[in-house]
Structure formats: C-alpha cells, structure tokens
Amino acid sequence: MKVFLTGGTGFVGSEVLRQLLAAGHDVRALVREGSEDKLAFTERVEIHCGDVTDAASLVGAMEDCDAVIHLVGIIREFPRRGITFKEMHVTSTANVLEAAVKQGVQRYLHMSANGTRKCGRAAYHRSKWQAEELVRDTDLDWTIFRPSIIFGPGSEFVKMLAELIQRLPVVPVIGDGQYRMQPVALEQVAAAFVKALEKPESIGATYHLGGGASYSYDEILDITARSIGREKVTKLHQPLFVIKPMIKMMQGSEYFPITSDQLTMLIEGNVCASAEWAQIFDLKPVSYAEGIDACLQG
C-alpha cells in the first residue's frame, strides 16, 4: 500500500513509519516545511510539505494513496503561539478527513487517547472526542485507537521520571500517588496501526490500548528506579489542596511542567480493558515492568 502519514516525525510517528516500511508499504509523509530532516527514515518515503491545520496545504497530498494514518496531536496547549487542542485535534482532523474524501482515500486510521469521552473532565479528552465524532460521521473505512500512556525509547514520560529519580534525593509526588496507570509499549501501538491496514475486521472499531499490567504512580517510580540502579525512592507526597492552586497560578508559563488539565488527567488515572485490541491484533501486551529496561537502554 501507499500510506499517507501525518505526525511521522514524532515519537509515535517515527515507530509507525519504521514498521510501515518494514512491512513493505510505501509512505508519503506530511512534514512541515523545514522539518524534513526530522524523519527517521527516508527510503521509500515521499515527502509532502504541509500542515494539518492548513487545509490548502493538503490539496493533492493524498493522490494515489490507499490509506491515511493520522497521528498528529498535542498533550498541552500553548495559546499564545496558536497551539490549541481545537486546532491540533479538531481542526486538523477535519482537514485530513476532508482531504481523504475529496482525494478518494477510503481507509483511515486515527490516533485518539484513552479516557476520551464526550463529557470528559479534561479539555484534552473532550477535544479528542470531538475529533472522533468527525471520524465517525464520515463514510470512510475508519479505525480509532485509544492508547494509554505510551512508553518506549525516546519517551519523554520515562525520561522525566528517570531524571527526577537520578537528580533528587526526595522525589515530589502529586497527591497520594495511588492513581493508576497502564503504560503501553510504543512498538505494540505502532504494530496495531500497521496491522490494521490488512485487517478489514477492524473497520468501524475503536480499540483501547493498554499494557500488560496497571500500576500506581508510586509503583511506576519504584520500577523506574530499579531499572536505573536505585533500590529505593524516597517520595514526598504533596496534598492536592496545595498543588492545585499553585498549578493554576503558574500554568501560564510555558516552562512550568504541568497544567491544570494535565493534573486532572493524572489524578483520574489511565487504565483500560485492552483484551479486544490484544486479541484482534494477536499481541501479548507488554507491561511497564517488562519493557522499561529496553526503553531506558534505547
């Protein structure tokens, strides 16, 4: 197949691109002008310069393609720079869908997120839901993937945890640290996208992608510490009634590490029932404990 790929220079996109090529597919990657050298692979990759938020730049972009994989998304808004959930999730999806319909591409694979729902507490989840609704309203042969937190080589999540543990004698933890997470391996997320191209039974389905086990945030810290040679993590749990107003006050700074929206999602937890995904794509989900060593070595 020839696959049109958005987000191919990103964390997930680079692995999807690698696996697409390994499976024998040709790829046309949408890349913002000046970012062409960020593509991890170029053999059998055709570059189309454009921007998912600019519908005009997608004219003709998907001609002769057999499928579209739309991965573009953000986890945090920067409104002063025009980077918002509405633009990056909703508008971008509308533009890509419109281009696919007009250019005759029937197969469409969409990256969403675990926790996405109409009345989600976080703006991130609500914007992801709005994007999903656009997908469901088309006549395309669509598949939606909702992964939990994705970990793998190059993961900012893992890097952040490892650096905190290495640099600080006492690691600050928001709240009681008992909110649960089910990190999913990058390689398996990418595999699902690539395998879906050959699985017509996945058309019209929404899959939740989670790892082989769930852990509290405190447990995630302990597992990460052992992987980098630290037997014990001394944790300082910070009450939410102290943290919430501080984050609300400081989140306007792009250098502050967390927003109120991200705090909401963190405390809410990130676990899912992923048996259907594992079964249809013939995968045995890797747990964070099983995969963290290779992740840090990478």
pLDDT in tens, 234-287: 999 999 999 999 999 999 898 898 999 999 999 999 999 999 999 999 999 999
Q: Across residues 50-66, what is the average pLDDT? A: 97
- Residue 28 DSSP SS3: strand
Q: What is the mean pLDDT of the chain?
A: 96
What pLDDT sits at residue 228?
93
Domain for residue 88, yes or no? yes
- 245: how many CB neighbours lie within 10 A of its CB? 11
The letter for the amino acid at 149 is I
231 domain-assigned: no
Stated as kind and residue range, the H or E segment containing 183 is: none
Residue 129 lies in a domain: yes
Instruction: Answer whether residue 241 is part of any domain.
Output: no
Using pLDDT thresholds of 50, 70 and 90, give the confidence band for residue 296.
Answer: confident
* Residue 47 maps to a domain: yes
The sign of the torsion formed by the CA atoms of 78, 81, 85, 88 equals negative
pLDDT digits (tens, 9 = 90+) for 16-42: 999 999 999 999 999 998 888 899 888
Beta bridge partners of 110: 70, 144
Q: How far apart are CA 102 and CA 105, in angstroms?
A: 8
Q: Give me the number of domains the chain comprises.
A: 1
Domain presence at residue 26:
yes
CATH, residue 115: 3.40.50.720
HSE-CB at 164 with a 13 A cutoff on CA atoms is 20
pLDDT value at 131 more than 80: yes
Instruction: Choose the weakest-confidence range: 76-85, 93-102, 179-188.
Output: 76-85
- Quote the pLDDT of residue 95: 98
How far is the C-alpha of 231 from the C-alpha of 250, rounded, in Å? 33
Q: What is the pLDDT of residue 8?
A: 96
Average pLDDT rounded to a whole number, residues 118-140: 97
Confidence of residue 294 (pLDDT cuts 50, 70, 90): confident
Q: Are 69 and 3 in contact (CB under 8 A)?
A: yes
DSSP state of 78: B
Q: What is the pLDDT of residue 232?
A: 86
266 is a domain residue? no
**Residue 21 belongs to what domain range?**
2-153+184-211+271-285
Segment (H or E) for 289? helix 288-297
- The pLDDT assigned to 174 comes to 96
96 is a domain residue: yes
Q: What is the pLDDT of residue 298?
A: 53
Span 131-135, average pLDDT? 98
